[in-house]
Amino acid sequence: MENNFEKSLIELENIIKKLESEEVSLDESIALFEKGVVLSNECRKTLEKAENKIITLTDAEGENLDDW
């Protein structure tokens, strides 16, 4: 999961750099933007899953500590 996240994040950064620094046609800019949106959504979903897992684990740990 992290490996895909890392790859998506790197690809997203490359898209941003290309859009900011290179001369690209309007059509290419739109295609890059669309790909960036998809990658951004994938990264966001991965982070949300990780956050939910951490919340679940810390809530469970808190319950276990209360039992002591």
Half-sphere exposure of 14 (CA within 13 A, CB side): 8
Looking at residue 63, its pLDDT comes to: 67
Looking at residue 59, its pLDDT comes to: 87
Q: For 50-65, how does the pLDDT look when each residue is reduced to its tens digit (9 = 90+)?
A: 999 999 998 877 766 5
pLDDT class of 66 with cuts at 50, 70, 90: low
Q: What is the CB neighbour count within 10 angstroms for residue 29? A: 14
Q: Which residues contact 1 (CB under 8 A, 6 or more apart)?
A: 46
Q: For 22-31, how does the pLDDT look when each residue is reduced to its tens digit (9 = 90+)?
A: 789 999 999 9
Cα gap 4→1, rounded to integer Å: 5
The arithmetic mean of pLDDT across residues 17-38, rounded, is 94
* Phi, psi (deg, nearest 5) at residue 22: -110, 155
Looking at residue 1, its pLDDT comes to: 45
Please report where in the chains the tokens 């750099």 appear, as a residue. 17
